Amino acid sequence: MIITIVGGGSTFTAGIVKSIALRREELEVTEIRLFDIDKERQDKVAVLVDWILHEDLKCDIKLVATTDEETAYKDASFVFAQMRVGKYAMREQDEKIPLRHGCVGQETCGCGGMAYGMRTIFPMVKVIDDAEKYAKPDYWILNYSNPASIVAEACRVLRPNARIINICDMPIAIIDVVAAAMNIKDKKQIVYDYFGLNHFGWFTSIQYQGKDMMPALRQYIKEHQILLPDAYLKDKAALGVAPQKESGTEGNRHTRGSWYYVWKGEYEIMENFPEMLPNTYLNYYLQQKEFVEHSDPNHTRANEVMETREKNLFDGIDKYLATGEIDEKVFYAGSHGDWIADLAIALKNDTKARFLVITENRGCLPNMPYDAMVEVPAYIGKDGPEVITQKPIPLFQQGLMMQQLNCEKLLVQGCIEGSYEKVLQAFTLNKTVPSMKVAKEVLDDMIVANKGYWPELH
CB atoms within 10 A of CB 193: 17
Q: What are phi and psi of 234, to 5 degrees?
A: -65, -40
DSSP for residue 2: E
Q: Which helix (H) or strand (E) holds 180?
A: helix 170-181
Q: Where are the beta strands (DSSP E) in 273-416?
A: 277-278, 353-360, 373-381, 384-387
What whole-number distance in Å separates Cα of residue 55 and Cα of residue 46?
13
What whole-number distance in Å separates Cα of residue 72 and Cα of residue 127?
11
Active site positions, annotated: 169, 281
Q: What are phi and psi of 199, to 5 degrees?
A: 60, 25
What whole-number distance in Å separates Cα of residue 204 and Cα of residue 185?
22
Cα 173 from chain centroid (whole Å):
10
Q: What are phi and psi of 41, to 5 degrees?
A: -65, -45
The single-letter code of the amino acid at 18 is K
Cα 356 from chain centroid (whole Å):
13
